[in-house]
Amino acid sequence: MKVSYKWIKELTGIKVDVKDFVRDITMSGSKVENLYCPGDEITGVVTGKILLIEKHPNADKLVVCRVDVGQPDPVQICTAATNLYEGAYIPVALAGATLANGLKIKKGIFRGVESNGMLCSLGELTLTKNDFPDVDENGIMIIDECELGLDIRPILGLDDTCVEFEITPNRPDCLTVSGLARETAATYGKRLNLPEPKVRGSGDNIENYVDVSIQDKKGCVRYIAKVIKNIKIEPSPAWLRERLRMCGVRPINNFVDITNYVMLEYHPMHAFDLSCLDGDKIVVRRANGEKITALDGSEHTLDDQILMICDAQKPVAVAGIMGGEHSGVKSDTQTVVFESACFDGPMVRAASRKLGMRTESSMRFEKGLYSEICYTAIMRACELVEELGAGEVVDGIIDIKNDTRKPPEIEFDPGWINKVLGTDISVLQMEQILENLEMKIENGVIIPPGFRKDLEGRHDIAEEIARIYGYDNIPSTTLKGAASAGFTKRQIFRRTVNQTALSAGLNEVATYSFISPKSYDKILMPQDDICRKSVVIRNPLGEDTSVMRTTLLPSMLEVISKNYNNRNLQGGFYEIGTEYFPAGNEEISENNLPEEIARLAIGIYGDDADFYELKGITELILDAVGIKNAVYKSSYSPSFHPHKYAKIFIGGNSGEQIGFLGEIHPFVPENYDIGTKCLFAKLFLDKMFEFYLPERTFVPLPKYPSVTRDITFICDEREEGAKFAGAIERAVGNILESVAFLYSYRGEQIPDGKKSMSYSVTMRSESGTLTDEEADKAIKRAVKSLSAMGAERR
Amino acid sequence: MNAMIEDLKITKQTALDQIAQCPDLKELEKIRVQYLGKKGRLTAVLRQMGKLESEERKVLGQQGNLVREAIETALAESLQRLKLHETEQKLNGEWLDVTLPGKKPKAGKKHPISLVLDDIIEIFMGMGFSVADGREIETVRYNFDALNAPSDHPSRDEQDTFYINDDVLLRTQTSTVQVRVMEKNRPPLRIISPGRVYRADDVDATHSPLFHQLEGLVVDKGIAFADLKGTLEIFARRLYGENTGVRFRPHYFPFTEPSAEMDIVCFSCDGNGCRVCKQEGYIELLGAGMVHPNVLKFCGIDPDEYTGFAFGMGLDRAALKRYNINDMRLLFENDSRFLTQFS
């Protein structure tokens, strides 16, 4: 909402510097977003009068003017303008002046003739022909006769400031200058007093001209009409044009300007050409598929959800949004019908959306206006008509009211208000504040004014008092009493996982929760996979963000792709992200919301990235949360390399899966434009949490030394080491401390299809120093056991 | 006997000479063995003592010990000298280029949003707040109805909110957690809840259809607007520095009344007005207010008995501000050159 500060000052009588005003009004609840003072950039431009015009001696297209600028000596200025005459009053930018476009005026020599300034056009002073309809916009601006040498800004209305407010949706009353003036007055401890509009009238009777009926009482709670006859369409006077301009509205002609002025001041209005209303009738009703061409030339078909203003035959306006082209006020209009009505906000909003028409009027109506103001508004318009001499106001008024709303009665409870604010404001001060906001207080009951539909209960009253009293003046206190706070076990678990992922060198990423359904194809997910059933967004921004992911893999691949293509050729990332699963086969509903499961995704990529690197990271994380006995089972997944993929289980062979890891199938990175190896692991945090062991018990350090023996054996190339390690463990028995994999080797001295594997076996007894004989015996048992499995010692 | 004493003297002298001229530790050890070893010269001289009378043996023994001590002392001194010398020699050969880069252990970096969030959680935990989780796919009831949003509120439009169907949507605010927490738990309550929220905004430098918010809620007997101010002032000063200027100005949210926005003095211009704060001198940090009685009632809490305050802030914007990041898209692009800049 843009407002002329001069206008606010005029209505309230305040005399505060605009900077202070901006601070104070922001702190009382009407936030100022922007300030614009067109005259700020213009300095050194004064009123002048042309005394003499001579031809330039060396240039055909230039003239040399002698200009009186109120100083003892006239100023000599060269110009190419052709609309000048001796005796003309003009704006003169003296040497040293600055113009709106930042242009600095300097003394100069024009083909040998000195020029000590510049004569200004409209554009150079930020103005347009709309602001000054009589001025030639291609020539120098000719102004009215005035004193010479004066600052041009007040004379052209360039000394005003446009204040732009952010108005919250609960305060449509502040979408008017009068509303903001009321707020201003209350902010400075005053009550706004606006004079009632006075209309002289010219006899005659409105009943001789037009008839109004409302068929949709819900859509239109009040409709007032006044008739103006013998009208004269012409430009508005300068003061009115200035006001409109400073409020961001383009001046057009006196009637359009009056309706806009009243809209800015009180309430949106409309003006019809009576001769275009068939049957001299106005009917407010729902549409039934009729067509209308709006004032802006756009054509619309109106359905029965849209409220229209019609004549006896056809629609002439879309209620609260825009008038029709046909019935608008034109240069030959003789009689005008003014409309000041109150339309249903949600209906206007729905229609405005549907038709794609958002106007100054609709954006006010859609927030919910109040009907009391309609009368003031239409009378103000008539007052302006008379003031401008734009026509004769016909006596009589048509006023149809269906508004049944009664303002609420709110208990005035100063004790509760002080308690909830933490203040000690006197009852007297509270009453003063409320009265300045035009509330009535009677017998301990507050009745808010009609324009404050947002006030319903004592908490609303508390805010009114608090904001005018000043949030700054309310004390700051700290919360009393201790509270038990701390991370839950699950939160500590998650933080441990996070911390460990970071210490493994992975960078944390944040990715979108929604993906493209095509992602499932890109990761080679089978057509019948249950994970293809995603939660679908009904109104997505686009296909790429249209379904909630059931797997974190595509998100991770996008990250890797982005990085790879930004020439980050290797790296590792993790994200604790959510996967979303429709719950069961039934429709998603309030009682059947999708499951949201947080999981850890790890992605590593690069030519050197390999399975064991990823497995090491996974093991580090499982170790950190006390999960020691995870089992990795070679498995199959279409997204992964057929031999480099494992599911992770806990709790033995029949245990639960807590995740998986593997190298991505080479076709998948190709689908993501990644030219290197990608590996991905996912850990099911909720399952892991069930096995989480946050507390560890101290294990005493061993008393006796350990003995270590290495075992190297040959086995089939595709046999899994875990099998042999397990056999060694069992064979060594209770003196076993650990079996550690050393290396695996294929090549010279090893037959084709075979591999050599080495393990280091550490043994220790708790009851005494282990002898070489005991250790050797145990190793012999292990070798025998391996041999029985077809693995011969080397 | 005299011959033997003479022999001792000579042994001592040659040993000391040899020790003095010894060039390195290896040679020194040889000298030690040559004189003091089992088959050494001194040992050999003393072994002859057996042939002597006891008186003479005693004298010779004393002499022998003196010679041994002298040799041992000389050996020890020499050992120290040579060790020093040899170590110096060795270290001199080990010149190192200290300007070459070190071997950094590989360590990952937290996402900037997590960094900001962790700091915020720490601050609120210090004031007795716990952390609550909330779901992202929510009902219209929890996202709008329970939060007192008018049934025709524009934020409900499909243009602003992602819907799954007429009753289910992607939450547009973490305030939903307020309701879920109050339904399940009785006051006193002090919680914060971070999470993802969704709005149908196209992606640009300052908008994202998905972003992160942090919600806070306090409900108890006698909670006042003054507590809201005090608590959030402490928060702002802990997060942005003790001297951070703070102001609260009236605002509107359907689910709080009175409502406020908290601004901090622009860190870029110190309140004088600049491009960062759009000439306002302040930067908006969060929205807050006293929990609306309708919201308390919806959750089965008596607004005559309890009052509370709630607040909400955008974490993405907080991260952008904190690190002076000029484009929100960077947060979701996850380029490692970006991610590794923050800690």
d(CA B281, CA B268): 9
Same domain, A183 and A136: no
Q: Is residue A773 part of a domain?
A: yes
Q: Is residue A697 part of a domain?
A: no
Inter-chain residue contact B162 with A539, CB threshold 8 Å: yes
Which residues of chain B does A573 touch, with a Cβ-Cβ cutoff of 8 Å? 334, 336
**Any idea which residue has 């009785």 for tokens?**
B186
Same domain, A723 and A786: yes
Inter-chain residue contact B158 with A539, CB threshold 8 Å: yes
Residues B329, B330, B335, B336, Cα dihedral to 10°: -150
Same domain, A298 and A269: yes
Is residue A596 within 8 angstroms of chain B, CB to CB?
yes
Residue type, B287: G
Same domain, A446 and A555: no
Q: Is residue A406 part of a domain?
A: no
Residue A544 has pLDDT above 70, yes or no: yes
CATH code of the domain covering residue A141: 2.40.50.140
d(CA A702, CA A631): 28
Q: How confident is the model at residue A36 (pLDDT cuts 50, 70, 90)?
A: confident
Task: Compare CB distances from A483 to B128, B200, B222 and report the shortest one's residue.
Answer: B128
Structural domain for A283, as ranges: 206-401
Is residue B241 within 8 angstroms of chain A, CB to CB?
no
Same domain, A131 and A170: no
ipTM, two decimals: 0.87
pLDDT of the residue at A653: 64
pLDDT of the residue at A20: 94
3-class SS of residue A120: coil
Inter-chain residue contact A507 with B336, CB threshold 8 Å: yes
Instruction: Tokens for B244, please give them.
Output: 């951070």
Give the A window 355-384 contacts with B, CB below 8 Å.
Answer: 366
Flag whether the pTM goes above 0.80.
yes
Mean local confidence (pLDDT), A169-191: 95
What digits encode the pLDDT tens for the residues A719-739?
999 999 999 999 999 999 999
Q: What is the mean pLDDT of chain A?
A: 93
Residue type, B125: M
Give the pairing type, strands A220-229 and A398-401: antiparallel
Inter-chain residue contact A589 with B111, CB threshold 8 Å: no
Same domain, A601 and A680: yes
Q: For residue A221, report the phi and psi dihedrals to the nearest 5 degrees.
A: -90, -10
- In 3D space, the residue among A609, A604, A607, A665 whose CA is nearest the CA of residue A638 turns out to be A665
What digits encode the pLDDT tens for the residues A90-108?
999 998 899 877 889 899 8
CATH code of the domain covering residue A339: 3.50.40.10
Boundary of a domain, candidates A362, A377, A401: A401
Strand partners for A550: none
Same domain, A175 and A121: no
Inter-chain residue contact B252 with A170, CB threshold 8 Å: yes
Is residue A467 within 8 angstroms of chain B, CB to CB?
yes
Name the minimum distance, in Å, from the CA of A575 to any CA of chain B: 9
Task: Compare CB distances from A471 to B139, B260, B290 and report the shortest one's residue.
Answer: B260
Same domain, A137 and A286: no
Q: Is residue A481 part of a domain?
A: no
Q: Is residue A273 part of a domain?
A: yes
Give the B window 197-226 contacts with A, CB below 8 Å.
Answer: 198, 200, 202, 209-210, 212, 218, 220, 222-226
CATH code of the domain covering residue A433: 3.30.56.10
Is residue A582 within 8 angstroms of chain B, CB to CB?
no
Name the minimum distance, in Å, from the CA of B129 to any CA of chain A: 6
- In 3D space, the residue among A239, A235, A269 whose CA is nearest the CA of residue A7 turns out to be A239
Interface test with A, best of B257, B294, B296, B335 (most A CBs within 10 A): B257
Q: How confident is the model at residue A192 (pLDDT cuts 50, 70, 90)?
A: very high
Among chain A residues, CA nearest to B109: A507
pLDDT of the residue at B56: 82
Of A66-70, A132-136, B191-195, which range is least confident?
A132-136
pLDDT of the residue at B128: 93
Inter-chain residue contact A541 with B127, CB threshold 8 Å: no
Give the pairing type, strands A571-581 and A507-508: parallel
Q: Is residue A199 part of a domain?
A: no
Name the minimum distance, in Å, from the CA of A655 to any CA of chain B: 29
Boundary of a domain, candidates A367, A401, A435: A401
Mean local confidence (pLDDT), A98-126: 87
Which residues of chain A does B135 touch, with a Cβ-Cβ cutoff of 8 Å? 593, 596
The residue count for chain B: 343
CA distances (Å), origin B5, targets A591, A664, B1, B64, B179: 112, 89, 6, 8, 107
Mean local confidence (pLDDT), A211-238: 94
Inter-chain residue contact B229 with A475, CB threshold 8 Å: yes
What digits encode the pLDDT tens for the residues A72-88?
999 999 998 889 899 99
Mean local confidence (pLDDT), A356-378: 93
Q: In percent, how much of chain A has pLDDT > 90? A: 79
CA distances (Å), origin A644, targets A499, A571, A636, A664, A754: 27, 19, 9, 8, 19
- Pair A336, A210: CB distance under 8 Å: no
Task: Compare CB distances from B335 to A474, A562, A572 and report the shortest one's residue.
Answer: A562
Q: How confident is the model at residue A223 (pLDDT cuts 50, 70, 90)?
A: very high
Task: Compare CB distances from B293 to A35, A457, A538 and report the shortest one's residue.
Answer: A457
pLDDT of the residue at A571: 95
Q: Is residue A484 part of a domain?
A: no
Same domain, A684 and A728: no
Inter-chain residue contact B127 with A509, CB threshold 8 Å: no
Of all helices (H) and strands (E), which one includes residue B116?
helix B112-126
Full DSSP string of B270-307: TTS--TTTTTSSEEEEEEEEEEPHHHHHHTT--TTT-E
pLDDT of the residue at A562: 97
Give the B window 109-128 contacts with A, CB below 8 Å.
Answer: 109-111, 113-114, 125, 127-128
Boundary of a domain, candidates A401, A436, A456: A401
How many domains are there within chain A?
6
Residue A696 has pLDDT above 80, yes or no: no
What digits encode the pLDDT tens for the residues A270-302?
999 999 999 999 999 999 999 999 988 899 999
Residues of chain B with pLDDT under 50: none
Same domain, A283 and A343: yes
Interface test with B, best of A26, A463, A503, A555 (most B CBs within 10 A): A463
Q: Is residue A241 part of a domain?
A: yes
Which residues of chain A does B197 touch, with a Cβ-Cβ cutoff of 8 Å? none
Strand partners for A640: A664
**Contacts with A329 (C-beta within 8 Å, 6 or more apart), sequence order:** A233, A253, A255, A256, A271, A272, A273, A336
Same domain, A110 and A173: no
Which residues of chain B does A18 touch, with a Cβ-Cβ cutoff of 8 Å? none
**Any idea which residue has 């989480």 for tokens?**
A692
CATH code of the domain covering residue A748: 3.30.70.380
Same domain, A56 and A69: yes
Which residues of chain A does B159 touch, with a Cβ-Cβ cutoff of 8 Å? 353
pLDDT of the residue at B288: 97
- In 3D space, the residue among A373, A116, A392, A106 whose CA is nearest the CA of residue A265 turns out to be A373
Name the minimum distance, in Å, from the CA of B326 to any CA of chain A: 17
Among chain B residues, CA nearest to A486: B130
CATH code of the domain covering residue A508: 3.30.930.10
